[in-house]
């Protein structure tokens, strides 16, 4: 049986988000508050908070076909939020995204011309942007390099 576009997107998202989980699995809790060494830097927690909120918000966009606003199910303040809590919320958002994509013809435009596929691609761009930010954390703060990140982007310390 041939793979569908939805199957391909689901596998793609699982791979991309899987790298996020690989990094979360290596971090100690106190690294969530880490910042890069310049005043404008947001915390590592912020990166995950923003990734989550954007996934949740884009799932609603894909489902409705129009922007429903941005919100994250995690609080903006990281105090008391664990790595396990972050991962659990991200995993729930993966299910929301799959459920939002499933009933749609991914290439069929909504009333204003955008397709579910286009919204998915914008979400991927956002997730990848945060991976780039997190690569800065990996190098600037000497975080461990997850094997999946080393394999995908040829990251190393050599």
The domain that holds 117 is classified in CATH as: 1.20.120
- pLDDT (0 to 100) of residue 45: 98
Residue 76 lies in a domain: yes
> Are 143 and 137 spatial neighbours (Cβ–Cβ below 8 Å)?
yes
What's the rounded Cα separation, in Å, for the pair 31 and 22?
15
**Radius of gyration from C-alpha coordinates of the chain:** 16
% of the chain at pLDDT higher than 90: 92
Query: Which positions ≥6 away from 140 have C-beta within 8 Å?
Result: 36, 37
- pLDDT (0 to 100) of residue 97: 98
Residue 124 lies in a domain: yes
- pLDDT (0 to 100) of residue 111: 77
- pLDDT (0 to 100) of residue 92: 99
Give the helix, strand, coil percentages of the chain, each rounded to 5.
65, 0, 35
| Structural domain for 52, as ranges | 41-153
More confident residue, 158 or 59: 59
When pLDDT is averaged across residues 21-38 and rounded to a whole number, the result is: 95
Query: What distance, in Å, lies between the first and last C-alpha atoms of the chain?
Result: 44
Average model confidence (pLDDT) for the chain? 95
Residue 109 lies in a domain: yes
HSE-CB at 124 with a 13 A cutoff on CA atoms is 14
The DSSP H or E segment spanning 50 is helix 44-64
Residue 83 lies in a domain: yes
**How many structural domains is the chain composed of?**
1
Interval 63-117: pLDDT, tens = 999 999 999 999 999 999 999 999 999 999 999 999 999 998 999 998 778 999 9
What's the rounded Cα separation, in Å, for the pair 136 and 151?
17
- pLDDT (0 to 100) of residue 158: 83
When pLDDT is averaged across residues 139-149 and rounded to a whole number, the result is: 96
Residue 90 lies in a domain: yes
What's the rounded Cα separation, in Å, for the pair 143 and 98?
31
Torsion of CA 48, 66, 123, 51, to 10 degrees: 0
Residue 103 lies in a domain: yes
Q: Where does the pLDDT of residue 17 fall: very low under 50, low under 70, confident under 90, or very high at 90 and above?
A: very high
When pLDDT is averaged across residues 16-39 and rounded to a whole number, the result is: 95
């Amino acid at each position: 049986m041939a793979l569908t576009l939805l199957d391909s997107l689901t596998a793609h998202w699982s791979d991309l988000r899987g790298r996020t989980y690989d990094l979360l699995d290596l971090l100690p809790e106190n690294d969530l508050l880490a910042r890069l060494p310049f005043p404008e830097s947001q915390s590592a927690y912020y990166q995950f908070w923003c990734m989550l909120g954007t996934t949740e918000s884009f799932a609603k966009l894909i489902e409705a076909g129009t922007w429903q606003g941005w919100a994250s199910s995690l609080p903006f303040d990281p105090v008391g939020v664990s790595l396990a809590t972050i991962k659990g919320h991200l995993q729930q958002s993966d299910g929301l995204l799959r459920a939002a994509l499933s009933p749609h013809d991914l290439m069929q435009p909504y009333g204003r011309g955008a397709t579910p596929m286009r919204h998915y691609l914008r979400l991927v761009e956002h997730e990848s942007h945060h991976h780039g930010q997190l690569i800065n954390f990996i190098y600037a703060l000497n975080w461990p390099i997850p094997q999946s990140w080393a394999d995908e982007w040829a990251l190393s310390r050599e």
